[in-house]
Amino acid sequence: MEITKIFIIFLMLGITSVNYMKHRDVLYPPVLHGIIWSSVVILYLVSSGLFFIPLSLQLYFLIISGLVMFSVGSLMVTFKCRPANNFVASEVAIKENMFLKAIFWLPILGLPFYLYKAYSLGISGPLDNHFFYNLRFFLSASRYRESYGLLAYLGTLSIVSAGLQFLVAFQNQKKSRVLIAIGVAAVYTVFSTGRTSVFMFLIFFVGLLVITRQLSIVKGFLLFAVTGLVVFVTIGALTFKGVRMGSGLFENALSMLDNMRAYLLSSLPAFDIYMHSNIPIGYGENMLRFLFVILNKLGLDVSPVLLAQQFVAVPVLTNVYTIYQPYYADFSIFGALLIQFFLGLWHGFLYLKARLNKPLYIILYALFLYPLFMQFFQDQYFNLLSTWMQCFIVLFLYFFISAPQGPRGVVDGKPGYHHRELERRIAAP
């Protein structure tokens, strides 16, 4: 079995290395895809005998096949592009107009109402003097479920606003608005109390810094690792995830370590168990749950599947099943692999357009780094379909209806090239 583990590791690392040779760029989506899955699988193989149940060869086959299918999808989009050591320089033209100002000001004006709603929930929960625990309790407990209502849409808008203002800062060199937009978006995500919400904003922002070469790849990974660890521990402590009231510092540190290990690795054995269960095929009811929710609210006799999955012991209890769960539930193993192919197409398309220094695609590429990084944990493509639709609508309204100027690239240190010249420069000879 040890030989099998070594073979699996070398095969995954080999696929990742071959993808890197295509563009010699870590930001090439199949490279990131391979690094994420290889890292998680290696960690699992190292610790499975100590903390988790062994995985079946069927699951390893699915993961490796998913790497291949994702790679093929991206390759089909980027096949004619020669390797690039860098994205083109990060000088873009964003048209400042009333719509951009509205995107900037709406989250700011709505923030006091959002915070008041958070305050009213946080002081009325089951525990005295534990504001964030009470807030999380009402936002996540199914029996007492509360929400921010329409104010929640301002959270998504604040993230888009931060991305736009980040790119605007390259033009006017004014940092005040981008700092305000980033701060407002951070407040929205923190008071959502979910670790995944905060990680979405963190990955998006670090992604923008790396894509525009304000940070190197290595520094970007380090910033994400350190900040992510702080976020994970802090939110866990505030909401009592991974800590126990009345326990000492050492006991809580060990408990937090166990919690972190469960978040990183428990989804793999959970999905392995799910694969070997007698689950009826859903034919789209899991992937397209959002549409079923809309139809249900319109009065049609349809029942959307539950978003929260059943807990399973691996041996720790978990209810996350990697990205593959909804795809496998709807279309079995072949459908799950086909979805990875289409995701590879999508990420490859965004990568190609972002290399041309087009601001719309820089923002979209950075946004979709989040579901890419979360593939090992759970599906955040179709599960967050509502969020992505909100982002698309806002960005479409701005970039197409507002008709901003096209990107002004910098090629070989010479400013003023049109993006078609950039296309010619990165195309294969």
Q: What is the pLDDT of residues 255-311, one digit of tens each?
A: 888 888 889 999 999 999 999 988 888 888 888 887 888 888 777 777 788 777 889
pTM comes to 0.90
**Token digits for 189?**
């995500």
Q: How many CA atoms lie within 13 A of 391 on its CB side?
A: 23
Cβ proximity of 22 and 75 under 8 Å = yes
Distance CA 244, CA 301 (A): 43
- Phi and psi at residue 252, in whole multiples of 5°? -70, -30
pLDDT at 395 over 70: yes
Q: What is the mean pLDDT of residues 28-54?
A: 91
Predicted confidence at residue 143, as pLDDT, reads 63
CA distance 304 to 159: 28
Nearest alpha carbon to residue 416 among 424, 402, 406, 426:
406
Residues 6+ apart with CB under 8 A from 232: 195, 260, 263
CA distance 316 to 329: 23
CA 32 to the chain's CA centroid: 12
Q: What is the pLDDT of residues 308-334, one digit of tens each?
A: 788 999 988 899 999 999 999 999 999
In sequence order, what are the residues at sequence separation of 6 or more whose Cβ sits closer than 8 angstroms to the Cβ of residue 218? Answer: none
Tell me the per-residue pLDDT of 55-67, one tens digit each, with 9 for 90 and over. Answer: 999 999 999 999 9
- Where residue 145 falls among pLDDT bands split at 50, 70, 90? confident
The set of residues, in sequence order, having a beta carbon less than 8 Å from that of 224 and lying 6+ positions away, is: 202, 203, 206
